[in-house]
Amino acid sequence: MSKLSILLADDSRFFRAIESQFLQKTPAVILEADDCDTALAMVRNERPDLVYLSFSLPPTGGLDCCQRIKKDPELRTIPVVIVCDPDAPEQPELAGKKGCDACLSKPLDKHSFLQLGRKFLPGVREHRKPTFFRVTILSGGEEFAGKCLDLSGGGMFVESQADLPPGTEIELSFKLPDGPSTQLSCSAVITWLNRKPTPMKPHYPNGLGIMFVKPPEAVHKAILRVSDKKTSS
């Protein structure tokens, strides 16, 4: 079966509901488990493409569950993100020792949750707002012009003829519509290309899928104000 699947393992139905809501734009089957045994059975039987695993998952804990996944030669390549408890700074280090691929901490932030998921599974998506503004791309001492056609808290699609392969680290410079009048800049990486004869988005022009990399807080807030703003009817 080619459709993606993501496992959310947490004994709290509330947190599973939040995570499911975050993933509503992602074309994937969402699997849920509320204990370690169920989570392990789903990993073995369903082979999800990504697992979000609560540190405190009963009865033996998310670390034990993660370790058992990573010790199994048939399962160890499945990315596991451990969701740590608030006010428990020691948990990420402990999780790393058990082989997890990344960590998040509660309370969950939608954009961090999706951006981390996209690191392991490019199909993880968030709401993208159609928009239009000019963007300058700087790479290897060269500048390339482009136009942003859609924007989210995690990245943008830029119409551009720049010949830059996925994985290229770049710097972006732009002014947001209805945003600060000053020029904003941040680091980013190209994650995919829209090119003929097999464009990922056939209705879009030639361009670049771009993911922001740790944008300054002020820049990130400005982007969120624009990307989360509802379009007037």
CATH number of the structural domain spanning residue 93? 3.40.50.2300
Average pLDDT taken over every residue of the chain: 89
> Taking residues 117-136, what's their average pLDDT?
85
Question: 23 and 46 share a domain?
Answer: yes
Matching residue, tokens 């948990």: 91
Instruction: Choose the final residue of a domain: 98, 120, 142.
Output: 120
Beta strands at 142-151 and 169-174: parallel, antiparallel or unpaired: unpaired
Question: 159 and 78 share a domain?
Answer: no
Q: What pLDDT, on a 0 to 100 scale, did the predictor assign at position 198? A: 82
Summarised one tens digit per residue, pLDDT across range 58-113 is: 999 999 999 999 999 999 999 999 999 988 889 988 988 888 999 999 988 887 88
Beta strands at 169-174 and 129-139: parallel, antiparallel or unpaired: antiparallel
Position 176 in a domain: yes
Question: 134 and 98 share a domain?
Answer: no
Collapse the DSSP code of 142 into the 3-class scheme (helix H, G, I; strand E, B; otherwise coil) and give the result: strand
Is the distance from CB of 132 to CB of 149 less than 8 angstroms?
A: yes
> Taking residues 35-56, what's their average pLDDT?
96
If one compares 8 and 28, the residue with the highest pLDDT of the two is 8
- Region of 211 (left: φ > 0; alpha: ψ -120 to 50; beta: rest) is beta
Q: What pLDDT, on a 0 to 100 scale, did the predictor assign at position 232? A: 43
Position 180 in a domain: yes
Taking alpha carbons only, the member of 123, 126, 156, 102 closest to residue 28 is 123
Output 221-225 pairs: Cβ under 8 A, ≥24 positions apart. 222/176, 222/179, 222/180, 222/184, 223/151, 223/153, 223/176, 224/111, 224/153, 225/179
> Taking residues 23-43, what's their average pLDDT?
93
Residue 35 confidence (pLDDT) above 90: yes
Position 175 in a domain: yes
CATH of the domain at 221: 2.40.10.220
Position 136 in a domain: yes
Position 233 in a domain: no
Least confident of 83-92, 109-118, 131-140, 222-231: 222-231
pTM: 0.64
Least confident of 80-84, 149-153, 178-182, 185-189: 178-182
Q: How far apart are CA 51 and CA 53, in angstroms?
A: 6
Question: 116 and 12 share a domain?
Answer: yes
* Dihedral angle, C-alpha 223, 226, 227, 228, nearest 10 °: 110
Position 232 in a domain: no
Instruction: Choose the final residue of a domain: 89, 120, 151.
Output: 120
Residue 217 confidence (pLDDT) above 80: yes
> Taking residues 42-59, what's their average pLDDT?
96
Question: Considering its fold, how many domains does the chain have in total?
Answer: 2
Question: 102 and 135 share a domain?
Answer: no
Summarised one tens digit per residue, pLDDT across range 188-216 is: 999 888 988 888 788 889 999 998 888 89
Domain range for residue 60? 4-120
Residue 37 confidence (pLDDT) above 80: yes
Q: How far apart are CA 68 and CA 75, in angstroms?
A: 9
Q: What pLDDT, on a 0 to 100 scale, did the predictor assign at position 1? A: 41
Position 138 in a domain: yes
Question: 76 and 166 share a domain?
Answer: no
Position 105 in a domain: yes
Instruction: Choose the final residue of a domain: 91, 120, 149.
Output: 120
Question: 116 and 136 share a domain?
Answer: no
Question: 56 and 84 share a domain?
Answer: yes
If one compares 118 and 79, the residue with the highest pLDDT of the two is 79
Residue 233 banded pLDDT, cuts 50, 70, 90: very low
Question: 11 and 62 share a domain?
Answer: yes
- Write the burial class of residue 112 (CB in 10 Å: 0-12 exposed, 13-18 middle, 19+ buried): middle
Question: 51 and 90 share a domain?
Answer: yes
